[in-house]
Structure formats: structure tokens, C-alpha cells
A and B are shown apart, each in its own frame.
Chain A
Amino acid sequence: MAVLICPECGAENTPGDEYCWSCRRALTDVEPVNDAVQDEPLGGHLDELLNSEEDLPGLLHALRQDGNIDGEQGDAEDVQSGEFHDSLGQASSGQSGREEEIPEWLRRIRQRAKQEKDSIGEVTQKISAAQESLADEKRSSQHESYADWIERLHQDFSQEQVAKDSAEGAPTGKAGQLPQTEDPEWLAKILKVHGKSVEKQDLDSLSTERLGGNSLLQWLVDLESGKEKLEPLSEEEPPAAKQSGDAVGEGDQNERTVDGDTTQEIRIKKGTSVKPVLSISRKEQLEADLISATIVDETAPRAMRKFEKPGSPWVIRAAVTVILITALSLSLFSGASTSNLSGSLKPQHRALITWLEQLPAESRLLLVVDYHAGFEAEMALIAQPVLSKAVQASSEFVILSSTESGVLLVDRLLQDIDGFETLVVSNAGYFPASNFAAFGLGAGIDPSWRFVHAPDAVNGLPQGDFEGILVLSDSYDGAKTWIEQLYAQFSEVTINLITTAQAGPLLLPYYESHQLGGLVSGLSEARQMTAYLNVENSTSHLWEAYRTGVLMMIIVIVLGLFFMSDHEGQETDRSKGEKA
């Protein structure tokens, strides 16, 4: 199957893709390559390979496969022959070209692994473990393994020749010896591929003089011992081999199926010794490609524009800060706002006011405090008008806090309210919301199911009936949790929410679903409530400063849009210049 190999990250893409799925590089200039080497197991017979332009490693692999078909060799020999195959691959590329033979993605992974031990993860660890264990294991026995394999190959070939000769009626030599006068055509192919092109008539002399009179086997032994050397393949490599090499890492990679899962054999090349064989799955190969692409992202120059946010000088920040604080201070200390209120009360405000007006005398309220010290000012502004009305009608507040400083904060809040002195305030304690819910679950257990003398979970909950619940919260999450838990346990009691501006819009759906009786959030709503309930507080003093701050925010956003668009224009011009 033809594939498009991304030159940027090496990922495979289907023909017709305009961009690489991995790194988004344009693939319009990439030619499709044949992926047959990866997709199909290399199991062809020698005759088929001889009819095609194969490189030496592929041909020798075919020899090994041919030997397997004859049934003499087991799985263990795959490793041995694979190592031999690898050694030939190394020899063919020469000493100087050894580094170039390592696939690009593997070289990058190794570099990264040297810098950061755990940066690559499982694939690199697997490679390293395989290198160490297999190198130790095979180092002592590799020569014997090669000798055995070569001997078997020799015997198989001799048997084939004997059978062939007997079928043709020709005289045969001694079993186990190759006839020196009939060197096979595939040997000429091997030599031709590696720059040792010889004519048919020269094979006799090659067999006797160059190869020491023992044909291919002796030549292979010489290769192993270093007497014989091969020319580099770089310029004469057949196109098919080059394509597969680009795709999977210098062509030193085969594919096979083990237990239904497709795995690839990658021969790790390092130094001069024979390297172990590593089997990795298709998924691992893709992950390695992704890692490679990530590394490329970090190091290689990218076509994609890099947005480099210029850090604004501290002088500018200081100037903006001074302007902001000065403007806010002037508007803050210039006096209370005299601007008229606009707009009518929203339904959630009206509902809250109605609930306050209908509160029975001497009522008992549960006050849930779920705000932090940072929002004390805002919460005080919003809650003060509501609590002022609630204090007038109530006789007891039960305070339940789910923040560390909740009890302290609500004490300060209530002290500023008229009539607080006559109120009975009970501290129910510090209750993280999940803690409250756990007690609620325990309290819901049927009494008949309770174990004897087990601690009573109900003791952990605020006792008694409440005329209403007020939740004071500064965040969406906290308010949501309390609404959920309280609605489940006190479904008959009206729950009202007083919250900051940042949580208000997100909590409005709980009012729409009638889980909340009323809701008020933010300074503008607090100002309306204050005016309607005719309660004195400092909302009007802060209102002008608030409006000034909002105005400045709008100015900053508009200026930011201009500067950002100008900056983007410069970046675009720069990227165009780089492309040119």
C-alpha cells in the first residue's frame, strides 16, 4: 500500500492527505512511497527475490526465510540470522556511515534519553533493557550461532543441489560440498548489487580465487571475520529499498505477526558488535513516531509560526498600575454616587424579597458560610441588606461554615447589622461539604438497621427545623455542592443564595429549576436590593470606583486589541519574509 511519509516527523499518511496528521506539515510536495515492506511479511522464496532488484540484507533475509521453509530452523534462528543480517547491514554501510544508519527518530530518542533519563518512557526503557540483556546473552555465543547457521545453510543448499542434479541426471559431487564450477546466479546478483559486478564467465575465478574456493559460505565467513568488506550502498541502493528505509528507519526493519499482533523487528546498531533484535508492536512504533515528532517540535525549525509573547517592561506595568490605582482612589474618595438606579428588580431578587417579607416572627435560619477572606468586602456588601431584614424577623441563626475562616467572617458581618445583639447565634461548627454529606448519608439510615451503641450520625448535623436557609458563597463549586446537599436533605425548606459576581451567572439555572428560592449576586444587584429594602450600606460609595474600574478595563481591552492586531501583523510580515 502506498503511503505518504512526512519529511518533518516521519509519520505515515494516507495518499491524498494534504497535511500530516501528526505535525500538520503540508504534504503537497511529498511523493507516495510503497509500504509493502512494512505491511507484508518478508516470506518470499529465493527465486522470487532473485528476479527483483533487492538489496543484500533483503536477499539474505530471503535466504533465511527459504531455510525456514525447509523446516530445519526454529524460531531461535530468526534471532541468529537476524543478527547476521544486521552485521551485514553494518558492514555494507561501512564504518563511517554507521551513525547515519540509525533511524532519525531513534537517534533523537537516544539523545533525549541522555539528557533526561525518564523523558521518553516505555519505548526507550524497552530498547535499553533489550540492548543490555541481549548483548550480554548473545556476545558469548554469537560465533557459534553463526557457524551453526552457516553450516545448516550450507547443508540445505547442498541437498537442494543434489536433488536438482539427480533430477537432471547430472553427476553430483560429494554431499555437503558446492560444485565450484557452477556458481549460482544469485551469487552474481549479490556481487552485482554491491558493486562487484562480474560476468558469468568470471564466477569460476571468483569462486576459486576471490572467495577462497568455498563459494558464498566462505565469503560470508570472511565477511564475519573482517577479511572481506562491502562497498557502501548509499548511491547504488535500489529505489524500493530506499523508500522502505526512509519509511521505517534505514530499511533495517522487518514485520511479522506474533499471536495476532503485528510486530516489527528493529536491529539496534551501535558500535561494531552484533546488536540484539528488538520486537516492538505497531502501536509502540506509532508512539515512538509521536515522541519523535514532539522532539522535532522542540528542536527543529518549524514552518508553523511561533508566538513569542514579548514581556512588557516593568516600567509600563508600574505606570499602568499607578494610573489604575490613582483613578480608582479619586473616584473612591470623591464621595457617594448620586446616579439614579436604572432597571427593575429581577425575578430572583423579587423572590428573595418576598421570602424575607413572609418570614414568620421568631424564625430560625440556617446560615451556611462558604466564602473566603478575599471576598469579604463583596460578600458584606451583598449580604448586608438581606441579613438586615432577616435579623428583624428571626430569633436564631445557626451558623455552619465550610471554610476555615467562615465563622470569623460571619461574626464580623453580623456585628455591623442593627439588632444583632438580640439574636441568638449558634455555631454548628466547621463542616466541609463532603463531611456534611457523609453525615447526611449516615442520618438517612433506617434506625432499625443501626448497630447497637454505634455513634449517632445525626449528632453531626444541625438539629431542628429551619424556616429558611441562606447560603453565602464566593464560588460556583462551593455553592453548587451546598445546593445539591441541602436540597437533598431539606427539600421542604427554601434555600436562598447570596454569592459573588463571579459565581452568580453560573448559578442562575438553579433558580430557574426552582431549587433556589432567591438569588442575589454582585455589586450592581446588591445596590438595587439596598435601594429597594432601604438599608444603609457603602454600596453607593464604591459604585463610582467600580464603574471607573469597569471603564478602564474596557479601555485596556480595546487598546490590547489594537496592539495585538499590530503585533500579529508584524508576525505575519516576519513569517512571510522567512518564507520568501
Chain B
Amino acid sequence: MNWLEWVTGAAGFLLTVMVLSYLIGDNVFFRLAASIFIGVTAGYLAVLLIRHILWPFLIQPLIYEPWQTKLWLGIPLLLIFLLLISQFPRMIKLGRIPLAYLAGLSGGIAIIGAVFGTLLPQSMAVINVFDAWAWTESSSPLWREMLEGAVMLVGVIGILSYFYFGRKRNLQKEKQAEQRPAIFEAFSQVGQVFIGITLGSVFASLFSSALLALIDRIAFIGKFIMNLFRGF
């Protein structure tokens, strides 16, 4: 091990132990490690944004592009300026303009992505399960295809029924508002089963990832200690 590996290895070892100390409760070592990680990440992100966003898309064109293009760059510069001066209490309203632009853009992108990237394709996938022509072409047995379609149908209806909140809230008649039509109540019971299975699966998956991270850190600590002894 050279000196750089020693330093980085020791820093990694110490930070790992400091984070793992949270297992016995919140303490100053864990908070110190968390603060270090947050600070380093923020600093790194700032450098990254300057290098990959501001420099190629703003500063570089301002230097090298013709003046007509520079005029176009006045728009983002103005938005940046408004956002900066909104930090002053009297100018806080001006900050709404760039924020509104960002919110509108993000909202538009998210909606387009959700509709055309998730909602429509997923709906089509649900519908295609009931394509009888596809059943005959599938290599799976027919009964399995039909069973899959039936489970899909019951699951979709059950979960949609569970999230049915179509009635207006009435504070005085809250008890009545909680009562949904009987058919929705029945399907929502089925939907709860599907939701429970889904959440259980998500929990197991989360645990699996966390466990692997822990194993990796234990392996790192063991490897570092072994290298330490080999060095002596």
C-alpha cells in the first residue's frame, strides 16, 4: 500500500465506523460523518454544475459565440439575476418569475413523460393481457394466460376501488363520507391484499439492498484491517 491508499483507506475506515455507530444510537460521530458527506456532496455538486452546465451552455457561448447568440443568452442571464436578487426581502417577488418558469417546465416535462411514458404504455399492457389472439401464440399454456389475465383484472379493479375517493368531504357527516358504495367496498378489500403484497415485496427489496450495502462495508473494513496487518 502506498501512502495515498493508506490515507484514503484510513479515512474510509473511520467514516464507515462512524456511520455504523448509529446502530447503537444517535451520536456525535454519526452526525459528524453525515455533515462531512453532505458538505462534500454540496461542494462537489457546485463544481459539477459549473463545469458541466454553466461553462458549456452559458459561459463558453458568451465568450466564443457571435453577438446575436449572446443576445439569446440574455434570457437565462436575466432569470439567474432575478433569482439572485430575490434573496433580498424587498425583491422576493421578482424571484417568482424564474421559479414559475422552472415549475412550468418541470410540470410540462413530468406530465408528458408520465402520460406517454407510463400511463398509456402501462394501460396498453394491461389491456393486451386480454388479447385472446396473443394467448394462442404464446408458448405458455392457455389456462395460465387466462389466469394471469384474471388476476390482473381483479388486481387493477381492486386497487382502483381502494383509492376511490369520489365523494365530497363533509365535515359534519364525516362518518357518512367514509362509507363508499358496497361494490367499491368489496373490491377495495381485494385491492388491499394486492397492495399488501406489493408493499411487502418492496420492503423485502429495500432490506436486500441495505443488507448488501452493510455486507460491502464489513468486507471493506475486514480488507482494510488485513492490509494493515500485512503492512506491518
Q: Does B3 contact A (CB under 8 A)?
A: no
Interface assignment of A453: CB less than 8 Å from any CB of chain B: yes
B-facing mask of A555-567, CB < 8 A → 1, else 0?
Answer: 0000000000000
Q: B69 contacts which of A434, A455, A512 (Cβ < 8 Å)?
A: A455
Chain B residue numbers with a CB within 8 Å of A506 are 202
Given A317-B24, A318-B24, A430-B48: A377 touches B106 (CB 8 Å cut-off): no
Chain A residue numbers with a CB within 8 Å of B106 are 434
B204 → chain A closest CB, angstroms: 8
Q: Report which of A375, A455, A460 forms a contact with B213, defined as CB distance below 8 A.
A: A375
A438 to B211, CA, bound (A): 37
The reply to whether the CB of B68 lies closer than 8 angstroms to some CB of chain A is yes
Bound form: Cα–Cα A21–B218 in Å: 53
Report whether A460 and B48 are in contact in the complex, using a CB–CB cutoff of 8 Å.
no
B133 within 8 A of A: no
Contact residues in A for B53 (Cβ distance below 8 Å) = 430, 435
Cβ contacts under 8 Å, B206 to chain A: 502
CB of A14 to closest CB in B, whole Å: 8
Among B28-36, B80-88, B110-118, the stretch in contact with A: B110-118
B67-104 residues with Cβ-Cβ distance < 8 A to A are 68-69, 71-73
Q: Within the assembled complex, what's the spacing in Å between the Cα atoms of A523 and B206? A: 12
Interface bits A524-543 vs B (CB < 8 Å: 1, else 0): 00000000000000000010
Give the size of the chain A interface in residues (CB under 8 angstroms).
67
CB-defined contacts of A501 to chain B, threshold 8 Å: 205, 208-209, 212
Shortest Cβ distance from residue A510 to the other chain B in the assembled complex, whole angstroms: 8
Contacts of B45 on A, CB cut-off 8 Å?
404
Compute how far the CA of A115 lies from the CA of B146 in the bound complex, rounded to whole angstroms: 64
Which chain B residues (45-66) contact chain A, with CB distance < 8 Å? 45, 48-49, 51-53, 56-57, 61, 65-66
Shortest CB–CB separation between residue A94 and chain B, in angstroms?
35
Contact B214 A328, beta carbon cutoff 8 Å: yes
B125: CB under 8 A from chain A? yes
Rounded to whole angstroms, the CA-CA distance of A522 and B108 in the bound complex is 33
Which residue of A has the minimal Cβ distance to B41? A404
CA A460 to CA B20, docked complex, whole Å = 41
A163 shortest CB reach to chain B, Å: 46
How big is chain B's contact interface, by range? 35 or more
Contact of A546 among B171, B201, B212, B222 (CB under 8 A): B212
CB distance from B138 to the nearest CB of A (A): 11
Residues in B with CB closer than 8 Å to A451 are 72
How many pairs of residues, A versus B, come closer than 8 Å at their CB atoms? 158
List, in ascending order, chain A residues with CB within 8 A of B175's CB: 17, 19, 21
Closest to B110 in A: A434
Contacts of A290 in B (CB 8 A): 171
Chain B residue contacts of A480, Cβ below 8 A: 117-118
Distance in angstroms between the alpha carbons of A441 and B110 in the assembled complex:
12
Assess whether A7 is interfacial by the CB under 8 Å rule.
Answer: no
Q: Does A332 lie within 8 Å of B109, measured CB to CB?
A: no
Q: Is there contact, CB below 8 Å, between A453 and B69?
A: yes
Return B196 CB to nearest CB of chain A, in Å: 14
- B48 CB contacts on chain A under 8 angstroms: 404, 430
Residues of B within 8 A of A485 (CB): 109, 113, 117
A286, A374, A430, A438: which contacts B171 (Cβ < 8 A)? Answer: A286
Interface string of A1-42 (1 = CB under 8 A from B): 000000000001010010101100000000000000000000
Residues of A within 8 A of B56 (CB): 429
A277 within 8 A of B: no
Assess whether B182 is interfacial by the CB under 8 Å rule: no
**Residue in chain B with minimal CB distance to A440:** B109
Q: How far apart are the CA atoms of A410 and B56 in the complex, in Å?
A: 22
Complex Cα spacing A484 to B52, Å: 23
CB of B112 within 8 A of CB of A542, answer no
Residue B166 is within 8 A (CB to CB) of chain A in the complex: no
A209-242: which residues lie under 8 A (CB-CB) from chain B? none
CA distance A301 to B206 in the complex (A): 39
Task: Determine whether the beta carbon of A405 is less than 8 Å from that of B44.
Answer: yes
Q: Is B124 an interface position by the 8 A CB rule?
A: yes
**Which of A317, A332, A434 lies in contact with B222, CB distance below 8 A?**
A332
Question: B116: nearest residue on chain A (CB-CB)?
Answer: A488
- Per-residue 0/1 for A273-302: is the Cβ within 8 Å of any B Cβ (1 yes, 0 no)? 000000000000010001000000000000
CA separation between A481 and B106, bound complex, in Å?
A: 12
The docked-state distance in angstroms from the alpha carbon of A21 to that of B171 is 8
Q: Which of A329, A430, A452 contacts B68 (CB 8 A)?
A: A452
A503 at the interface (CB under 8 A from B): yes
Once bound together, how far apart are the Cα atoms of A376 and B213, in whole Å? 8
Q: What residues of chain A lie closer than 8 Å to B23, measured between beta carbons? A: 317-318, 321
CB of A566, distance to nearest CB on chain B (Å): 23
Closest beta carbon of chain A to B80's beta carbon, Å? 15
A550: Cβ under 8 A from any B Cβ:
yes
Q: Confirm or deny: B215 has a beta carbon within 8 angstroms of a beta carbon on chain A.
A: yes
Q: Are B49 and A488 in contact (CB under 8 A)?
A: no
Partner of B122, one of A333, A441, A509, A549: A509
20 further contact pairs, Cβ within 8 A, besides A484-B113, A488-B113: A19-B175, A21-B175, A314-B24, A318-B23, A321-B24, A332-B218, A404-B45, A429-B56, A437-B112, A438-B105, A455-B72, A460-B57, A485-B109, A488-B112, A513-B122, A522-B205, A522-B208, A523-B212, A545-B215, A549-B215
Interface CB pairs A-B, < 8 A, 19: A12-B172, A286-B171, A314-B25, A317-B23, A318-B24, A404-B44, A430-B51, A430-B53, A438-B105, A453-B71, A455-B69, A455-B73, A480-B117, A484-B113, A484-B117, A502-B208, A542-B215, A545-B218, A550-B208
Closest 9 CB pairs of A and B: A484-B117, A377-B216, A513-B125, A453-B68, A484-B113, A430-B52, A501-B208, A502-B209, A21-B174
